[in-house]
């Protein structure tokens, strides 16, 4: 997998990343398949804009699949295609392997490569407008979104995203990251899992492409599920 020098959080060069998870029996496979659901507007013809949606650290279980269908359905209604990308199911990775262990945040780095693989696949199928494919993630998937939009990561790939939307991401060590396309943060004021203050500080730092922020008042990290 490509990586960038820096810190283990962003570049993924941690023991867990290199050796694989317990579920992967200590080995990172050179090749594999990921599960994904695709939703498209009825009667859509030719290349259309698409959004790749990324789940949180729980994976696409019942709750987050409902979220994906809900938000994805709204995007489909607006004329976008949607790909719900499952990074954990085919790897046998459950929430206990990511949500409960801070060191597993390096999974966000690996998932960035998953999203680029999905982008390449969509373009190869000729069903998307290659200049209008976006990424939208929540929680761990939102952190993945910030890593995806990092210019140093994007430069490793043939195709890049038109923009990123991050719902309740972790902005740890992201303050000085340069993004290659617009990034929008959606933060929960009472987030108990990630710091909206840290993300606000990141958004305020000077960069060539500004970060836009929306703060949802009076809600916690997983308010979408209630």
State the pLDDT at residue 129.
96
User: What are the Cα distances from residue 46, in Å, to 34, 68, 84, 85, 197?
Assistant: 25, 24, 20, 22, 42
C-alpha–C-alpha distance, residues 161 and 149, integer Å: 7
Q: Of 154, 142, 152, nearest to 214 (Cα)? A: 142
Q: How many residues in total does the chain contain?
A: 226
Taking the mean position of all CA atoms in its chain, how far away is CA 196? Answer: 17
pTM of the model: 0.90
Let me know the angle formed at the C-alpha of 86 by 38 and 59, rounded to the nearest 5 degrees: 130
Let me know the angle formed at the C-alpha of 159 by 118 and 34, rounded to the nearest 5 degrees: 10
Q: What are 205's two structure tokens?
A: 């730092």
User: What are the Cα distances from residue 123, in Å, to 46, 148, 161, 205?
Assistant: 12, 17, 11, 33
Do residues 186 and 136 make contact, with C-beta atoms less than 8 angstroms apart?
no
Tens of pLDDT along the chain (226 residues) come to: 445 555 555 555 566 566 666 666 667 766 778 899 999 999 888 899 999 999 998 888 888 899 999 999 999 999 999 999 999 888 877 666 677 665 556 788 889 989 999 999 999 999 999 999 999 999 999 999 999 999 989 998 999 999 999 999 999 888 888 999 999 999 999 999 889 999 999 999 888 898 999 999 999 998 888 7
């Amino acid at each position: 997998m490509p990586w960038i020098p820096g810190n283990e959080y962003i570049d993924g060069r941690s023991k867990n990343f290199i050796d694989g998870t317990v579920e992967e029996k200590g080995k990172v496979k050179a090749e594999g398949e990921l599960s994904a659901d695709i939703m498209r507007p009825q009667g859509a013809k030719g290349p259309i804009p698409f959004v790749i949606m990324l789940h949180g650290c729980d994976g696409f279980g019942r709750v987050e699949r409902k979220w994906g269908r809900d938000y994805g359905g709204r995007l489909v209604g607006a004329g976008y295609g949607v790909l719900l990308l499952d990074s954990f199911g085919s790897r046998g990775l459950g929430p206990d392997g990511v949500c409960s262990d801070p060191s597993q945040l390096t999974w966000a780095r690996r998932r960035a490569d998953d999203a680029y693989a999905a982008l390449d696949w969509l373009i190869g199928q000729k069903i998307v407008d290659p200049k209008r494919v976006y990424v939208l993630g929540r929680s761990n998937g939102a952190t993945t979104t910030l890593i995806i939009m990092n210019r140093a990561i994007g430069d490793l790939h043939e195709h890049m995203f038109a923009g990123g939307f991050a719902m309740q991401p972790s902005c740890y060590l992201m303050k000085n990251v340069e993004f290659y396309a617009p990034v929008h943060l959606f933060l929960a004021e009472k987030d108990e899992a990630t710091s909206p203050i840290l993300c606000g500080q990141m958004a305020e730092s000077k960069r060539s492409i500004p970060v836009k922020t929306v703060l949802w008042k009076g809600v916690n990290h997983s308010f979408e599920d209630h």
